[in-house]
Each structure stands twice: as C-alpha cells, then as structure tokens.
Amino acid sequence: MRLFLHCEELNDTFGNILFLIVILDLLVAFGFTACLVGNDGGKVVVTNVFDIISIVIFMAYTTIYAWPMVSAYAQSTKTGGLVAQLMFEIELRAPYRQLEAENEQEETKSLLLTFLIGSKDQVLLIVAGGPVSITRGFVVTTLTLLLSFLLITREFSKYKF
C-alpha cells in the first residue's frame, strides 16, 4: 500500500514536469519532421540525415525512456491475479502441512486477503500533468501521431496554394 501512496506522491510532485517534458519532446520531433518534409530538394543529404536522427532521438525520449513507467503499470494490473493464485496454492498445499503450521498458514492467508482487497482497485499509473497517462497505449499513440503528422504534412507539401 505504501507503494501506491508513493506513486501518488510522485504524480503530484513530478506530474506537471513530466507533462512539460513529453510535450516539448513531441513538439521538437514535429518540428524536425516538418523540416524533413519541407525540404524541396535543395538541402544536402547530411541535413536530411541530421533531421532523421533528431526525430528518432526525440521520439526515443518520449517513448523508450517512458518504458519503465509502462512496465510498472502493466505489472501492477497483474498483482491481484498473482495474489489470488498464491492464496489458491496455499489452499492446495494445506492438507500436507502439519497442525502447528496451520496458524501460520491462516495468518498468511489473512494477510494476503487484506492485501488483495486493499490493492484490488489500485494500479501504479504515472500521470503526466493530468491528461497524459503513461501506458502502452500512450507509447503507441505517440508514435502513430508522429507518423500521421509526417504523412499529412507530406501530402500538403505536394500542393501549392
């Protein structure tokens, strides 16, 4: 339970900072994408390579560095099932235990049940400033957004207004 409280404290303290970092990294990646697409053939190859490398680096800042937070969320959703499975295993092994260990077994089951009830609706979710939750869907959405922006910008750059 302390871990969930610690996660809430981290969200309150660093959520806005994390949101700002994510937004700025996305904007820089969009800027380099616009520079890459806006190239009318007059730039040298080195500039295009620089733009591509910059896009990859800033998308890595937004997605790959967030992966530990995504993993924490994914593992926390599995906690209830794992605790229930552990309780089931304790029940299965109960006939093979001796009578003096029965009290210890009941205490363990009681503790696990308390943990299961307390953590049933809790997940370790890192929230970046409110609107952005760092999950697997966030990573996929971020990459898809950049690719969509690249394709739309590319299509609009073909037409002269």
pLDDT in tens, the chain (161 residues): 676 677 777 778 888 888 888 888 889 998 888 888 877 666 677 888 888 899 889 888 888 888 888 888 887 777 777 777 777 777 776 655 555 566 666 777 777 777 666 666 666 677 777 777 888 888 888 889 888 988 888 888 777 66
User: Which tokens in the block code for residue 159?
Assistant: 């037409």
- Do 29 and 56 contact (CB within 8 A), yes or no? no
CA 96/CA 16 separation, integer angstroms = 54
Contacts of 54 (CB under 8 A, 6+ apart): 28, 29, 32
pLDDT at 79: 74
Taking the whole predicted model, whether its pTM rises above 0.85 is answered as no
pLDDT at position 41? 64
Residue type, 159: Y
Separation CA 26–CA 131 (nearest Å): 15
| Position 60, amino acid | A
